[in-house]
Amino acid sequence: MCSRGDEDDKLLLCDGCDDNYHIFCLLPPLPEIPKGVWRCPKCVMAECKRPPEAFGFEQATREYTLQSFGEMADSFKADYFNMPVHMVPTELVEKEFWRLVNSIEEDVTVEYGADIHSKEFGSGFPVSDSKRHLTPEEEEYATSGWNLNVMPVLEQSVLCHINADISGMKVPWLYVGMVFSAFCWHIEDHWSYSINYLHWGEPKTWYGVPSLAAEHLEEVMKKLTPELFDSQPDLLHQLVTLMNPNTLMSHGVPVVRTNQCAGEFVITFPRAYHSGFNQGYNFAEAVNFCTADWLPAGRQCIEHYRRLRRYCVFSHEELICKMAACPEKLDLNLAAAVHKEMFIMVQEERRLRKALLEKGITEAEREAFELLPDDERQCIKCKTTCFLSALACYDCPDGLVCLSHINDLCKCSSSRQYLRYRYTLDELPAMLHKLKVRAESFDTWANKVRVALEVEDGRKRSLEELRALESEARERRFPNSELLQQLKNCLSEAEACVSRALGLVSGQEAGPHRVAGLQMTLAELRAFLDQMNNLPCAMHQIGDVKGILEQVEAYQAEAREALASLPSSPGLLQSLLERGQLLGVEVPEAQQLQRQVEQARWLDEVKRTLAPSARRGTLAVMRGLLVAGASVAPSPAVDKARAELQELLTIAERWEEKAHLCLEARQKHPPATLEAIIHEAENIPVHLPNIQALKEALAKARAWIADVDEIQNGDHYPCLDDLEGLVAVGRDLPVGLEELRQLELQVLTAHSWREKASKTFLKRNSCYTLLEVLCPCADAGSDSTKRSRWMEKELGLYKSDTELLGLSAQDLRDPGSVIVAFKEGEQKEKEGILQLRRTNSAKPSPLASSTTASSATSVCVCGQVPAGVGALQCDLCQDWFHGRCVSVPRLLSSPRPSPTSSPLLAWWEWDTKFLCPLCMRSRRPRLETILALLVALQRLPVRLPEGEALQCLTERAISWQGRARQALASEDVTALLGRLAELRQRLQAEPRPEEPPTYPSAPASDPLREGSGKDMPKVQGLLENGDSVTSPEKVAPGEGSVVGIQPGAVSNPACPRNPPDLELLSSLLPQLTGPVLELPEATRAPLEELMLEGDLLEVTLDENHSIWQLLQAGQPPDMERIRTLLELEKAERHGSRARGRALERRRRRKVDRGGEGDDPAREELEPKRVRSSGPEAEEAQEEEELEEETGGEGPPQPLPTTGSPSTQENQNGLEPALGATSGPSAPFSTLTPRLHVPCPQQPPQQQL
């Protein structure tokens, strides 16, 4: 200012424009440089001249969802405080908030989702509407009084009488806040209550000032900011004023503070100023409510608004008059408060209308102000909403004033002004009276109740009168006072007494059929009568209860007299007890009577149970009596009876246990021991189940012994089935039987014999039973029947033994029936096979090229039609089969060559005979083996169906053998056999190449010595040949013999060093011709018939083979069959060698691995012969495998050269037991009478 720059220490720098001023140049001058911020006079002038900026809240332009607003709010808080939102302390946020409020230079802008209408955006509380279905839990919250949607319209709330939905007061508002978002100092509209609920989020900090200090707060704020209140007197109603609570408290204003957390309510009282801010992102909901104590504050608020010329939200006078119009709907407290407020309002209305009259305004008209909009009935002076009355002017129809501002309406004459009123002054007192009656009705009712409960007038009210008082309190909605609770308790007690009295009376009427547990004792009956007498109400049931009490007391006296004169008769005691039960009241003496009756009944039951004439009781009955006796009152008689019962029960249980041990013990006792136990137990007068079971077992044992004696002493030996049934029954009996062991030995021996016979006859895994094999084939005539049954047996479906001979199981027990049926079966079998041969012979041959498929075509066992090379025809049934599907014979059957072996070119001695599996059902053992089985059967004291069938089969075989020998011994057949023997001898000699052999007729000789027997070769001799043989030489045509062989064809073919191989046999086939013999028809026919019958026998006989050779020699060689057999034998040999190589490789792998890879289960199942080693073992193994593949079938043994019996070992280890007479020529007549030999008298064990 002075344009000098000296005295730097006196220069003052302006913080606004950076100009320098000497402190002594300023007006007024400053004594020193001031501290803090200082601005020059120019900057101060510019600041004062600047127009004022708008303050308060601005409406944001951006719209948020809850999620987006929350993300923004959390991000702002985290960035502002530089830490996670949940870690910011509330104290730090509060301190920073007030620092920002007090700061002039620093501005921070936040957003606040305030005053959001819940009707539009939804409430945080469940609401009952049709938009969504509520769960039961939500339904409870939707109807709760603490739901802010329900609280404003509760009956105790004044706002429920306002029809309009006042936003913010009756309809909740929603608030979505963020950090620093604040609500300024304010009070609620009409000074009403407010309630705020924080649903979730961070806390909300509140500051509150009590209503008593409201005017003080207003004065302090006006004092501190007078310029604001001068321009806006209602500034505190605009929610734009925020002042630090510390400042208010420093001026004597009481301020309280709290942090509202999620799930908490905050309630503000009428005219209680409050403000606050949010600590962070949260969601709250708030609404107003008004109670009866608010009415004076509401009236004062209208006067306050009138002074400030502030608009009202609703008309207070209209609210009071509306509640006064229906006083019965008001709560008593509310009715009293409304009466007081209306009385003041009526007095004030009288005063104002009187002033109007004094001014000379007499015109008036009624006006329904509630039907007018609020802006059409507002006072133009104070903005108050008029309801009771208003002053209007005919000349100025656009405005009206309240009666407090009648001089401010207009300047028109008073004669042009008129009164608009809602009620006359006479109608208002009537409304006041109704309110008074409603308010005082509770006192009147309370007086009536007090007189009735305390019986002040000496008259007990009836139950109906008390119920009427309680119903009045409920209908008029009286408060739940202590007097009302006493009335309810009295009514509840009286009704319970009436119900109990009625139950007591009905119990007497029901008698013994009453419900258990409803009886009361005598003391309870007396107390019940006293209770009914003490109640303040009259009940006519008291007389009924008194009558019952008198009956019970009389019964008690009579019961005491009966008990004093004990022992009384049980009938008298029972009669008294039944009379007491009819009373429906428990008398102490009744229990004593009950005990006496129970004692008498129990003793009588014990006497009847133990009486000699009574039926014996069980152990359960005895135990039940003891258990019942334990509940009976003790007395000498009872104690004695219980002791006797216990002793008897102990003895009975001991004998029962002894019998149980006899029944369950492994060591069975003899019948004598059991009889002794039963005899001693008979003296116990108790039914013992185990003793009874022992009796029954002993009776069964005696019957079993009788059955054994009967069956052993019969005309015949007993059947195996009968013995097995007796053994099964005897084993189940708990009695030691001496005969049982003997029967078991007999059954075991019979099973052993049958097992040996099965091994002798049945092939490995045979589908036939032993009895089926031994009996004639009854269905031999039907090929389809044989095949279907054979398939059924293969599948395990056909198991019938009793249908073989057309006999039932009972018929099989009669030896005579078995023999007759067997003979009939032989004839049927022969006739059937002849018919089958004729049928099969008529079928086309599979070898023929012109064969066509038809219903008569042969079918193999595999189910397919055999065709072409490889098919074989059965020599018995004449049917065709695949060679690969059946077991076939080997051409040569000598495993080792010998000097007596047949020559290779003797083709008629080759084994080309083929029987199909349907005709050859068994192994067909030799007759010597069968005779050994019969000898063992003779020693059995048991009859088996298989044994009798074996005897019949043996008789049949011997009979056929005799006829066959007779035929072979005839002159013609003997000559033929001699020729064959001579031819064989010539073929065995070494012929010279230039001298072809001749075949003269053989002389008559013994056919059994020269033409059969052990000279027959075996098949293995051809299968193991490894040596070479000279090739056959060509011979000139016409130089051959008549027998069909070329002389000098082979070099010593009869006795090679090793058997020839199959290739050698194949090379000899072109040189085979025939027939060798000429069989007359007279000779051929009997031999063929014998051959047919012999093939039907399941027995191997040498004569069968001799007849076959003669028949073969008498016809040309069957080249197709021979070739087929050779091919099958080659394929079988190839497979055997492949199996041998596989076994060798496996043995080598085992040696290499040391046995590590062996399968234990497979090793266990592998036959021992496979595990052997060495050339001889391998050879034996191959032979056994070959035997298994062919079903154990081998060629029949040749006839012996002499007539001596064979000494060959039989197949099952059974030695010939018939001595010199057991050969083929031994008589069999001694075997037949065995079927009728009576059973010896000595035990079977001695026989064995």
236 and 195 in one domain? Answer: yes
pLDDT in tens, 349-406: 999 999 888 888 888 899 888 888 888 899 999 999 999 999 999 988 888 999 998 8
User: Residues 782, 832: contact at Cβ < 8 Å?
Assistant: yes
Amino acid sitting at position 995: E
Residue 812's pLDDT band, with cuts at 50, 70 and 90, is low
Q: Which residue has the tokens 């609770």?
A: 485
Angle between helices 522-534 and 482-510 (to 10 degrees): 140
Assess if residue 302 is contained within a domain.
no
Contacts 24+ apart (CB under 8 A), 837-845: 837/876, 837/877, 837/878, 839/783, 840/783, 840/877, 840/878, 840/879, 840/880, 841/878, 843/879, 843/880, 845/873, 845/880
Residue 995's pLDDT band, with cuts at 50, 70 and 90, is very low
Alpha-carbon distance of 871 to 1125, in angstroms, equals: 10
Q: What is the pLDDT of residue 275?
A: 94
Alpha-carbon distance of 1222 to 527, in angstroms, equals: 117
Q: Which residue has the tokens 């006192």?
A: 443
Q: What is the mean pLDDT of residues 863-891?
A: 81
Nearest to 927 by CA among 1096, 1097, 1095: 1097
Whether the pLDDT of residue 1091 is over 50: the answer is: yes
Assess if residue 242 is contained within a domain.
yes
Whether the pLDDT of residue 174 is over 70: the answer is: yes
pLDDT in tens, 1021-1077: 322 333 333 333 333 333 333 333 333 333 333 333 344 567 777 777 777 777 888
Percent of the chain residues topping a pLDDT of 90: 17
Q: Is 753 buried (19+), middle (13-18) or exposed (0-12) by CB count in 10 A?
A: buried
DSSP letters spanning 768-802: S-HHHHHS--TTTT-HHHHHHHHHHHHTT----ST
Residue 1112's pLDDT band, with cuts at 50, 70 and 90, is confident
Residues 6 or more apart in contact with residue 593 via CB below 8 angstroms: 559, 562, 563, 573, 576, 577, 580
Q: What is the mean pLDDT of residues 207-221?
A: 93
Q: What is the pLDDT of residue 1206?
A: 35
User: Residues 880, 1135: contact at Cβ < 8 Å?
Assistant: no
For residue 1190, the Cα-to-chain-centroid distance in whole angstroms is 55
Identity of the highest mean pLDDT range in 268-272, 537-541, 868-872, 1231-1235: 268-272
**365 DSSP β-pair partners:** 420
The more confident residue out of 661 and 914 is: 914
Hey, what are 277's tokens?
């801010």
Number of domains in the chain: 6
Q: What is the pLDDT of residue 1188?
A: 43
The more confident residue out of 444 and 930 is: 930
Q: What is the mean pLDDT of residues 552-575?
A: 72
Q: What is the pLDDT of residue 289?
A: 92
Assess if residue 724 is contained within a domain.
yes
pLDDT in tens, 409-430: 888 888 888 999 999 888 888 8
Nearest to 293 by CA among 169, 192, 183, 218: 192
Q: What is the pLDDT of residue 756?
A: 93
Alpha-carbon distance of 529 to 149, in angstroms, equals: 53
Whether the pLDDT of residue 1088 is over 60: the answer is: yes
Hey, what are 543's tokens?
């007389």
Q: Is 985 helix (H, G, I), strand (E, B) or coil?
A: helix
Alpha-carbon distance of 713 to 739, in angstroms, equals: 14
686 and 778 in one domain? Answer: no
Query: Which of 88-102, 245-259, 819-833, 983-997 has the least mean pLDDT?
Result: 983-997
Assess if residue 835 is contained within a domain.
yes
Whether the pLDDT of residue 1225 is over 60: the answer is: no
DSSP letters spanning 197-259: EEEEES-EEEEEE-GGGHHHHHHHHHHH-HHHHHH-TTGGGTT-----HHHHHHTT---EEEE
Asked if omega into 567 is within 30° of 0 (cis), the reply is yes
153 and 78 in one domain? Answer: yes
Mean pLDDT, the chain, whole residue set: 76
Q: What is the mean pLDDT of residues 553-564?
A: 76
Q: What is the pLDDT of residue 249?
A: 94
Q: What is the pLDDT of residue 280?
A: 95
User: Residues 1014, 900: contact at Cβ < 8 Å?
Assistant: yes
Relative to beta strand 400-401, strand 282-289 is unpaired
Q: What is the pLDDT of residue 793?
A: 54
356 and 251 in one domain? Answer: no
346 and 444 in one domain? Answer: yes
432 and 497 in one domain? Answer: no
Residue 807's pLDDT band, with cuts at 50, 70 and 90, is low
Assess if residue 1218 is contained within a domain.
no
Q: 945 φ, ψ to 5°?
A: -60, -35
The more confident residue out of 884 and 67 is: 67
Q: What is the pLDDT of residue 88?
A: 94
Hey, what are 730's tokens?
């005897």
401 and 505 in one domain? Answer: no
Q: What is the pLDDT of residue 1113?
A: 85
Q: What is the pLDDT of residue 284?
A: 96
Q: What is the mean pLDDT of residues 7-14?
A: 83
Alpha-carbon distance of 609 to 613, in angstroms, equals: 9
Amino acid sitting at position 1016: M
Nearest to 203 by CA among 67, 75, 89: 89
**Four-point Cα dihedral 263, 264, 267, 273, nearest 10:** -110
Nearest to 259 by CA among 181, 196, 207, 205: 205
Alpha-carbon distance of 211 to 644, in angstroms, equals: 96
Relative to beta strand 11-13, strand 20-22 is antiparallel
Hey, what are 225's tokens?
């900011």
**Four-point Cα dihedral 315, 318, 319, 323, nearest 10:** 180
User: Residues 787, 915: contact at Cβ < 8 Å?
Assistant: no
User: Residues 897, 1059: contact at Cβ < 8 Å?
Assistant: yes
Whether the pLDDT of residue 675 is over 60: the answer is: yes
CA distances to 637, 1020, 1208 from 1197, rounded to whole Å, are 98, 14, 10
User: Residues 309, 323: contact at Cβ < 8 Å?
Assistant: no
Hey, what are 924's tokens?
């067909």
Assess if residue 26 is contained within a domain.
yes
Q: What is the pLDDT of residue 191?
A: 93
Domain boundary among 291, 323, 353: 291
pLDDT in tens, 314-345: 889 999 998 888 888 887 788 888 888 888 99
74 and 37 in one domain? Answer: no
769 and 726 in one domain? Answer: no
Assess if residue 86 is contained within a domain.
yes
**DSSP type of residue 458:** S
Alpha-carbon distance of 1041 to 1033, in angstroms, equals: 15
Alpha-carbon distance of 4 to 25, in angstroms, equals: 11
Domain boundary among 1141, 1165, 1183: 1141
Nearest to 992 by CA among 944, 1048, 951, 952: 1048
Residue 566's pLDDT band, with cuts at 50, 70 and 90, is low
Question: What pTM, to 2 d.p., does this model score?
Answer: 0.44
Look up the CATH number of the domain holding residue 40: 3.30.40.10
Whether the pLDDT of residue 1013 is over 60: the answer is: no
The more confident residue out of 1031 and 644 is: 644
The range of the structural domain enclosing residue 583 comes to 473-509+518-595
**267 DSSP β-pair partners:** 195
Nearest to 1046 by CA among 1000, 1011, 1002, 994: 994
pLDDT in tens, 1138-1182: 777 777 777 777 666 654 444 443 433 343 333 333 444 444 444
Percent of the chain residues topping a pLDDT of 70: 78
Q: What is the pLDDT of residue 74?
A: 95
**1100 DSSP β-pair partners:** 926
139 and 41 in one domain? Answer: no
Assign residue 191 a region: left if phi > 0, alpha if psi is -120 to 50, beta otherwise? left
Assess if residue 922 is contained within a domain.
yes
DSSP letters spanning 1133-1186: HHHHHHHHHHHHHHHHHHHHHTTTT--HHHHHHS-HHHH--SHHHHHHHHHHHH
The more confident residue out of 828 and 1162 is: 828
Q: Is 823 buried (19+), middle (13-18) or exposed (0-12) by CB count in 10 A?
A: middle
The more confident residue out of 210 and 14 is: 210
Whether the pLDDT of residue 1220 is over 50: the answer is: no
574 and 674 in one domain? Answer: no
Nearest to 292 by CA among 430, 187, 154, 429: 154
Alpha-carbon distance of 1126 to 1107, in angstroms, equals: 24
665 and 573 in one domain? Answer: no
Whether the pLDDT of residue 686 is over 90: the answer is: no
User: Radius of gyration of the chain from Cα atoms?
Assistant: 67
